[in-house]
Amino acid sequence: MPFATTCRVEAVLVATDPDTFVTRRVEAVEVDLGGIPGDRHHGLTRPAGSREPMYPRGTPIRNRRQLSAVSVEECQAIADGLGLDAVLPEWLGANLLLSGLPELTRLPAGARLLFPSGAGLVCEGENRPCRHPGEVLARLHPLHPERAALPVRFVQVARGRRGIVLSVERPGRIARGDAVRIWLPRR
């Protein structure tokens, strides 16, 4: 089997506050075929939005953006690019913080993340950055010398580094500390 590598789950996070996409850390989640129950991105379907201009806005489409993952390495590169000490996965609304995959964002669509419980996620492609996380960064760093520019700068700096979106292929538990096998599609 083409297992390219393994990586590690440094944090598991959920967005359960209806007022914000910012996530908070938990020890583990039990994913089903809609994602993380109770998370704002959970569902078998979701309304088409600005990322799906090929469908009328609001049309129910299959939810391929159930979870999002970022890497420790890419978060640090974004922080360096913005002149910040750190960019936390919470501020990006990420559900998984992974280490050991420095170029997580380049993982091809169709790659699988396989967890010790037997749970499996499928990479649905790059999570293209929007301005909202930069707005969170600006609120949290009132003394930043380029504070007003952070939303735009975030989109520039985070391109190609903002991680991936995933959907659930096989339900199961995902926990902090898990070793994750990465299975690459054959081409």
Contacts of 23 (CB under 8 A, 6+ apart): 13, 14, 15, 89, 90, 93, 94, 95
CB neighbour list of residue 62: distance below 8 Å, 6 or more residues apart: 44, 45
DSSP 3-state of 25: strand
Please report how close the Cβ of residue 104 comes to a second copy at its closest, in angstroms.
Answer: 15
Of residues 145 and 186, the one with the C-beta less far from a second copy: 186
Q: Which is nearer to a second copy, 17 or 55 (CB)?
A: 55
Shortest spacing between CB 110 and a second copy, in angstroms: 4
Give the CB-side neighbour count of residue 45, counting CA atoms within 13 A: 6
Give min distance, CB of 65 to a second copy, in A.
Answer: 12
Residues 117 and 174: beta-carbon distance below 8 Å: yes
Instruction: Name the token pair of 153.
Output: 């700068």
Indicate the residue among 135 and 169 with the shorter CB distance to a second copy: 169
Q: Is the CB of 18 or the CB of 53 nearer to a second copy?
A: 53
- In angstroms, what is the minimal distance from the CB of 89 to a second copy? 23
Instruction: Provide the binding-site residues for a second copy, judged by CB under 8 A.
Output: 1, 33, 44-45, 48, 53-56, 59-62, 64, 108-110, 112, 114, 118, 120, 122, 124-126, 128, 167-170, 181, 183, 185-187
- Three-state DSSP state, 40: coil
